[in-house]
């Protein structure tokens, strides 16, 4: 069995989340903004089956080969 780590990815930079934005007024984080736009978040979770994981890998490989 694979030991797959999991985490949460927020497509909005943390300093722009409504709950945190009041504490970050005027804060500019261009690298954080860029990472939020370019980060690839995969649906990987410890409860996924082997078939699910293989389907995810297949889809990512297909996109990579297509140059996406």
Q: What is the mean pLDDT of residues 9-37?
A: 90
- Mean residue pLDDT of the chain comes to 84
Report the distance separating Cα 56 and Cα 48, nearest Å. Answer: 10
Domain of residue 37, residue span: 14-66
pTM of the model: 0.52
Establish if 30 belongs to a structural domain.
yes
Query: How would residue 37 be classed by pLDDT, with cut points 50, 70 and 90?
Result: confident
How high is the pLDDT of residue 21? 94
Instruction: Report the number of distinct structural domains present in the chain.
Output: 1
Collapsed DSSP state (helix, strand, coil) of residue 47: coil
Does some domain include residue 9? no
pLDDT confidence tier of residue 2, bands split at 50, 70 and 90 = low
Q: How far apart are CA 52 and CA 39, in angstroms?
A: 21
């Amino acid at each position: 069995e694979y030991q797959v780590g999991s985490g949460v990815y927020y497509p909005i930079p943390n300093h722009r989340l409504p709950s945190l934005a009041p504490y970050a007024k005027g804060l500019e984080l261009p690298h954080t903004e860029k990472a939020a736009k370019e980060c690839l978040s995969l649906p990987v979770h410890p409860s996924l089956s082997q078939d699910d994981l293989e389907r995810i890998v297949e889809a990512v490989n297909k996109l990579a080969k297509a140059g996406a």
